[in-house]
Amino acid sequence: MFEPQPMRKVIIAGSKDYMKIAIDAMHKHDVVHITDFVDEDEDFKIGKPHESITKLSERAVSLRSLASYLSIKGKVDIPNKYPEGAIIDTIDAKTEQLDVEVTQVTDKISEIDSKIKDINDKKRLLEPLKNFDLPLELYTGYQSLAVFVGTLKNSPIISDITDDYELETAPYGRGRTISLFVPREFEGETLKRLQEQGYAALPLPKMEGVPKEILVNLEAQLAELQSEKQKCEGDLVDLRKKHIEYILASDEYLSIETQKAEAPLRFATTKNAFIVEGWIPTKDLGLIQSDLDRATNGHVVVSVDSSEAVDVEKVPIALKNPLPSKPLEVLVRAFSLPKYNEIDPTKLMTFMYPALFGLMLGDVGYGLLVIALGLLVSRVIKSQGMRDLAKIGVYAGVFSVIFGFIFNEFFGVEPFGHRGYLTFIEYPTVTRLDNVLTLLIVTLVIGLLMLTLGYVLGFINEYRQHGLKHAVFAKVSWLMMLWGGTIAVALVLPAMSSGTGIQLSLGLIAGLVLLVVGFIFMFMGEGAIGIAELPSLLSNVLSYTRLLSIGVSSMGIALAVNKLSDALFFSKGGIFVIFGVLLLIAGHAINTVLGILDSGLQALRLHYVEFFTKFYSGGGMKYIPFGFERKYTEEK
């Protein structure tokens, strides 16, 4: 019941002539976990990929470049699946034709882009000159005149050099642009003067006409190019819309074919035969046996390796859980997959994780919010991992609501009872702030029970893996110490705090005996190292007190938000009510996020650190069947 999917080790062997058919059949069923063959020797060699592989990769490269031009990225939902048969025959011709169509457009776009860049370069050169009305061609080609065109901080003063000059200036940026004509003989002196004032020469574009007019002209050209480019981009969008299904489907088809063509790299082959070693879930064994037999006319055999000495480390792990427990697998996988003969804790976590979460959050309002968020995310987000987490969130929210009713909390206020708003609903509630000591003891009991369960599961695991004696020394010993210690503390502590002397009762003796015997067992099993582990027993139990303290602190924040908004805004009335509502929304939103994160992580920690360490070591290898999950194509 708590184990992973049962697996059988199989050897699939046959004549090389039937290898392709066998690969097709295996791929179709998507159940064989192939163990890669690595130990080559004289007789057995690693297989060679099918000769079609070169062609396939070439096609894939051109198809993917098309996809990137049309900005088609994975994970697009398309309504209809493409029949595979329609791809096989036409893929070469169609991809080529598509390539031509797309390249036409993309080439045009890049041509336009280079033109646009050209125009923009010219514009940049002309921009500073746009206030001068002199045509560009008149700035150059004089023998007796020197021309300076450039930028300067202020208008230059050169009247002391010569009176015979022509100067035009215009504001530009933080300074000015100038065009200055002086007789050639003053060129050197003028340049020196200008440079002293921060002159930087402007390159003159090789064009004719008045800059302002050229600019207008260029602007018009630019607008035309831009609209042309927009049209081309529209064409690309049309192409994308028209061909997206085909491109996604052919890409998938090529991935599948490549996977099949490369499969022999994982096989052992001799001159005439091939051998595949792998694992198949027991339930699928019969189907694949009969199907391979039929497809290859009995030329390929699936034989089960039923030798006893199966190395559990090498069995691939597929978790086997009912649908409601499936989302929790993500938490188990995040820790580690179980080994083949280890208990899979997913089913237990389906109840325990949301319960611990709910106990911490414990608020009807926050619980409903978490449920709503969970439902929303599981609808909207596509990533499977996030969806699983969202579903766990829904479970957790339900428990939060249940505990919210018990604790009588709704966004930090008491909704029911004589102190609450709905005074007519009265039932026995356990408010957290009034029952700190009681709830503290409850959390410790929860811790005790969870650790006990952990040790019991650990006993089962150890018994299966190493036998009874080891299981007693490794797990029963700790269980005895846990309960012996608990009994002793439960009897001694009240006596000590109330000041009455410690009575040597039967219970106390029993507790102490358990403690000592457990310690001896532990010492026999684990030696001195076990002693170093002893304090962790206490800290593990105490660790469960977080179930109360996280809850109380989250409640404290909610309380503070309510009190603050009341004292600062609601009590003043009028317009302040709006601010009060805003503060309430923001405060409770932040507290919801904190509550989800903290309750979620701390509940997870109580599982990973306190609970799992008692029985679970994990380290299983993931079951990856040879096959493909088709999204865009249908099998022929």
Partner 1 sequence: MVDPMGAGLVAIASAIAVGATGIAAAMGEQMIGSAAIGVMAEDEGFFGKGLVMTVIPESIVIFGLVVALILLFVTLPALG
Q: Does 334 bind partner 1 (CB under 8 A)?
A: yes
* Nearer to partner 1 (CB atom), residue 159 or residue 500: 500
Residues 34-93 touching partner 1, rule: CB under 8 A, are: none
The CB-of-613 to partner 1 minimum distance in angstroms stands at 12
The CB-of-59 to partner 1 minimum distance in angstroms stands at 31
Query: Using an 8 Å Cβ cutoff, are 150 and 173 in contact?
Result: no
Q: Does 550 bind partner 1 (CB under 8 A)?
A: yes
Tokens of 196: 């002293």
The CB-of-492 to partner 1 minimum distance in angstroms stands at 18
Q: Does 506 bind partner 1 (CB under 8 A)?
A: no
Q: Does 545 bind partner 1 (CB under 8 A)?
A: yes
Residues 512-541 touching partner 1, rule: CB under 8 A, are: 539
Burial letters 474-501, b for 16+ CB under 10 A, else e = bbbbbbbbbbbbbbbeebeeeeeeeeee
Q: CA 313, CA 306: separation in Å to the nearest integer?
A: 16
Number of residues that bind partner 1 (CB under 8 A): 21
Residues 267-306 touching partner 1, rule: CB under 8 A, are: none
The CB-of-4 to partner 1 minimum distance in angstroms stands at 21
Supply the DSSP symbol for 473: I
Residues 433-472 touching partner 1, rule: CB under 8 A, are: 433, 436-437, 440
The CB-of-255 to partner 1 minimum distance in angstroms stands at 22
Nearest in space to 502 (alpha carbons), one of 516, 513, 491: 491
Q: Does 387 bind partner 1 (CB under 8 A)?
A: no
* Nearer to partner 1 (CB atom), residue 215 or residue 552: 552
Residues 605-624 touching partner 1, rule: CB under 8 A, are: 605, 608-609
The CB-of-114 to partner 1 minimum distance in angstroms stands at 38
Q: CA 345, CA 614: separation in Å to the nearest integer?
A: 12
CA 437, 561, 362, 443 torsion-angle sign? negative
Q: Does 543 bind partner 1 (CB under 8 A)?
A: yes
R_g of the chain, CA atoms, integer Å: 39
Q: Does 496 bind partner 1 (CB under 8 A)?
A: no
Tokens of 227: 């609209």
Query: Using an 8 Å Cβ cutoff, are 546 and 361 in contact?
Result: no
The CB-of-623 to partner 1 minimum distance in angstroms stands at 18
* Nearer to partner 1 (CB atom), residue 170 or residue 433: 433
Q: Does 317 bind partner 1 (CB under 8 A)?
A: no
Contact with partner 1 (CB under 8 A) among 63, 214, 352, 604:
604
Longest dimension (CA), the chain: 125
Q: CA 305, CA 311: separation in Å to the nearest integer?
A: 12
* Nearer to partner 1 (CB atom), residue 157 or residue 560: 560
Q: Does 255 bind partner 1 (CB under 8 A)?
A: no
Query: Using an 8 Å Cβ cutoff, are 11 and 273 in contact?
Result: no
Q: CA 444, CA 567: separation in Å to the nearest integer?
A: 37
* Nearer to partner 1 (CB atom), residue 323 or residue 437: 437
Query: Using an 8 Å Cβ cutoff, are 260 and 27 in contact?
Result: yes
Instruction: Kindly report each contact of residues 540-543 with a partner whose C-beta sits within 8 Å and lies 24 or more positions away, as own/partner.
Output: 540/447, 540/451, 540/610, 541/444, 541/447, 541/448, 541/451, 541/482, 541/486, 542/444, 542/447, 543/447, 543/606, 543/609, 543/610
Residues in touch with partner 1 (CB under 8 A) = 334, 433, 436-437, 440, 539, 542-543, 545-546, 548-550, 552-553, 601-602, 604-605, 608-609
